[in-house]
Structure 1
Amino acid sequence: MVDSVTSEEAATAGAGAATAVLTAPLSLDGGLAAELQPANLVQRVLSLFGNVRPGSDLSHLQLPATFNLPKSQLQLYGEGVYCIGEDYLRRCANGKDSLERFAAVVGWSISTTRPPIFGLAPYNPVLGETHHVSSGSLHVLLEQVSHRPPVSALHATDDSCDVELVWCQNPVPKFHGTSVEATVEGKRHVKLLKFSENYDIDCPNLLIRLLPSPSVEWSGTVSIVCKDSGLEAQVCYYRSHTFLGLSGDPRCVKGKIFHSASQETICEIHGHWDRTVSLKDAQTGNVSVLYDARSAIADLKTPVVRNQEGLSPSESAVVWSEVSDAILTKDWERSREAKRRVEDTARRLDKERSDKGEVWIPKHFSLSQDKHGHWEYWPLQKSVPPAPIIVPP
């Protein structure tokens, strides 16, 4: 067993004092990430894969700091939940019937899709790293519960609308010669407690095209299932094609809501996840707006520290504070040195645990693997407490 002091030592390597550096979330206009892209980014990205074989797993590829967003992957996962302009999560708990609530969950799942940025990636979280943020009455807590493979767990609860989110995600990026595809393994669970409804949701894949034209987009089919109501949905993220087969819009979505037992289609889903997505009643033909990206993910607010003393040494914004500060000021030498300190210390502590035969124990989650290699996980606390970092109202 490894106690929490050791876990915080690993997470705070190189962070110094508990000072958090928080940066703007990915939003509809790209925001900070778009400003950080250098002019020669495409050539530099292509050079990274010169000696990588097709089919290689890139989960543990260590990127130079010049390719990093100034934030951890844990923060990106969290931002998809707590950084939003319109509260799509509350709609899920306020639906008047099971179909309305199910459609709201579909809309919420689309709201977690944020514009990816070509050539820039977040930091790989170190083992034991955490991220804890509140937005109004919603409290979100994440922890990096495994390093090999890299697994991130999330637990979120809302004080006022009886919603709970639990998930455990493992991104598996692979190089395919002219592209990189990141498959996100694991399901997201949305629980509407007062209705005793549980929803299981997949994640879309992230596809990075290197040739012939560099781009990054979401792809694949997301399945959403509620066994309690007998409803199911499939939402496909895809690139449209124009006349003569030329590539068109990469941000299209289409799908349907249907009865699991009969497979009868109830509603059709169609639109663009960066604009609007419509819901069409299969019987009446009535069309309504399921999701509006402008209201959901435009002009998002940057989280701020409300309680400096309450910051955990393992907080992502603390762990990577010096690296992020150096990237923001484009001090690349300092960013490289600071990043190396964090990663080297995490590797050293991992070796020390291995030499002693110690097993890592997460602080906020209990987890195990079944015989098929799938992760099973449970939050140790019933609810998430208010966080020292908040999203301004």
Structure 2
Amino acid sequence: MLSKCIDGKSPLERFAAVVGWSISTNRPAIFGVAPFNPILGETHHVSRGSLNVMLEQVIQLSSIKQLHCDIENVENSVLILKINHKCYNGTLASIFLSHICIGTSVEAVVYGKRKLKLSRYNENYVMNAPKLLIRFFPVPSADWVGNVTIRCKETGLEAELCYKGPSLLGFRGNNKSIKGKIFESSTSKTLFEISGHWDRTVLIKDVTDGKTTIIHDAKKTITKLNAPLVKDPKGLCSNESAVVWGEVSEAILRKDWEKARGAKNAVEEKERKLRREREGKGETWIPNHFTLFYTKEEGWDCTPKQTLVPPAPIVAPF
């Protein structure tokens, strides 16, 4: 999906590919299953072919993660793509709703912006994320809903997407549907119409000639992904997710829930102890892979310390 963003021959082709990539990053949310709480400095370094990714938890309280991703042209060995991705998952601002028309639910807002830069073309794409709607009645469920805007200042292109969830009783329309458009920012002229289901297939239609093109096929981009494998155990750092949560994960796979809870509590207690020690010494933790800074306009942001991400000890096979 990222390669398609680079391969586009025109700004419009690249923008449509970025829209498809943005949609592909959404995964079906499983009700009642909570992720691990990442610890400060936790990293995930993984490679897939020529794609090298470094992810680091850079702030504890705001749960801001920063991602630096490089795709290298193997023949020319040059950097052609960088991604900086902020995801404020830990500070979900929840709006509790209880109304006869929509049922009892929790709406979680994901703050922050996703920033994708195509270095070859000096194009910067900024986008937000949809909200997570968790319903408890009549049937427990979780769905991505709301509006997403994608902008590229350099090309003057913009997209508006609307994620729709199911009605209260499931009678009205189909859930996981998505509709939107790609248009010129300066004139608001619509160039493409977008429709489909983000967990299946999403199409764009050229309003000029009516031609339709698939920009996202979930079956191809999600269902065939293979689990990452540890290729070089000695190359794993102590803060690698596979190391930090290894004992917890193994216990879960064995369905030894008591062991999993104990191992999880041990990880969290160790993190609390380290935080107390830093506070007692008046020390400020510094990220290993990113330079962290704050601006009034953008809030917290980061820049990668390395120009390129090196190959990782963990690989995601094709």
Settle same-fold status: TM greater than 0.5.
yes
> CA shift at 1:296, angstroms?
1.1
2:87 equivalent in structure 1: 169
Query: Given the alignment of the two structures, is residue 286 of structure 1 paired with residue 211 of structure 2, yes or no?
Result: yes
| Paired residues, number | 305
- Residue 326 of structure 1: SS of its match in structure 2? helix
> CA shift at 1:212, angstroms?
2.8
Unaligned runs of 5+ in 1: 1-87
- Residue 203 of structure 1: SS of its match in structure 2? coil
> CA shift at 1:389, angstroms?
0.2
1:54 equivalent in structure 2: none
2:117 equivalent in structure 1: 191
TM-score, normalised with respect to structure 2: 0.91
- Report 1:15-164 matches (<5 A): 88-160=1-73, 162-164=80-82
Q: Counting strand residues as a fraction of each chain, which structure ranks higher?
A: 2
Provide the rounded CA distance (Å) in 1 between the counterparts of 2:110 and 2:264: 25
Query: Given the alignment of the two structures, is residue 258 of structure 1 paired with residue 176 of structure 2, yes or no?
Result: no
Unaligned runs of 5+ in 2: 74-78, 98-103
TM-score, normalised with respect to structure 1: 0.74
Structure-2 change in CA distance of 1:208 and 1:241 (3 Å): closer
> CA shift at 1:240, angstroms?
5.3
- Residue 242 of structure 2: SS of its match in structure 1? helix
1:221-246 per-position Cα deviation (integer Å, ceiling 9, x unaligned): 1111111111010111112559x993
Provide the rounded CA distance (Å) in 2 between the counterparts of 1:299 and 1:245: 29
Percentage identity across paired residues of the two chains: 50
> CA shift at 1:373, angstroms?
7.4
Q: CA RMSD in A?
A: 1.8
Q: Which segment drifts farther, 339-348 or 209-218?
A: 209-218
* Runs of 4 or more above 6 Å deviation: none
Provide the rounded CA distance (Å) in 2 between the counterparts of 1:303 and 1:245: 36
> CA shift at 1:113, angstroms?
1.0
Structure-2 change in CA distance of 1:338 and 1:129 (3 Å): same
- Residue 174 of structure 2: SS of its match in structure 1? coil
> CA shift at 1:367, angstroms?
1.5
Name the aligned partner's letter for residue 129 of structure 1. Answer: E
1:326-361 per-position Cα deviation (integer Å, ceiling 9, x unaligned): 111111111111011000010111011111111111
> CA shift at 1:385, angstroms?
0.8
Larger RCO: 1 or 2 (CA < 8 Å, sep 6+): 1
- Report 1:2-13 matches (<5 A): none
Q: Counting helix residues as a fraction of each chain, which structure ranks higher?
A: 1
> CA shift at 1:370, angstroms?
2.5
Query: Given the alignment of the two structures, is residue 210 of structure 1 paired with residue 131 of structure 2, yes or no?
Result: no
1:81 equivalent in structure 2: none
- Residue 195 of structure 1: SS of its match in structure 2? coil
Provide the rounded CA distance (Å) in 2 between the counterparts of 1:203 and 1:122: 18
- Residue 258 of structure 2: SS of its match in structure 1? helix
Provide the rounded CA distance (Å) in 2 between the counterparts of 1:352 and 1:337: 23
Provide the rounded CA distance (Å) in 2 between the counterparts of 1:179 and 1:374: 30
